[in-house]
Amino acid sequence: MMLADYLDKDRILLNVTAEKYRDMLVRMLETSAEQDKLCVVDNILQREKIMPTAIGKGIFLPRAVLRDKSKSEVIIATNPSGLSFEDYGPMQAYIIVLFLFSEKDDSAAILAQTLRLLSDDTLRSDILESIAPIDVIKAISEWEEE
């Protein structure tokens, strides 16, 4: 399972300056084909209270499984100054990867690949230093090819 297969340059947002986690999710969902964006944001935030998706190293992996979705979407946003989510205390996110999963896709495999990729310090730095969305896709694709 390759994360790059789910990436689209129109769904990669660099240097987003949202102050609140909810605002970041709304901004990310603006790039999505999803119709009921605010409902999706509310569902993600409810899920976060039960099972947080902050994984450390400045990464948040919010996600939702959507019943009527034909293909999963992956939306990436960077926030170089760090974004906090009050429920996580002092933890900051610099890279947020939002997953809108279709029930047809293997969400566990996509998440596992993403965790494997983002555990690499160099790749995280490359993503944060990217100037254009295509640079993020290129960095991830090259790492997956190794």
For residue 37, what are its two tokens?
């964006």
The CA distance from 118 to 78, in Å, is 13
Q: How many beta carbons lie within 10 A of that of residue 71, not counting itself?
A: 12
Around 142, how many Cα atoms within 13 Å sit in the side-chain half-sphere? 11
For residue 105, what are its two tokens?
């896709």
The parent domain of residue 98 ranges over 3-145
**pTM of the entire structure?**
0.93
Give the total number of structural domains in the chain. 1
Tens of pLDDT along the chain (146 residues) come to: 789 999 999 999 999 988 788 899 999 999 998 888 889 999 998 888 888 888 888 899 999 988 888 889 999 999 988 887 766 666 788 999 999 999 998 999 999 999 999 999 999 999 999 999 999 999 999 999 87
What pairs with residue 77 in β-bridges?
A: 13, 96
The CA distance from 18 to 24, in Å, is 5
The CA distance from 93 to 99, in Å, is 16
What's 81's domain CATH number?
Answer: 3.40.930.10
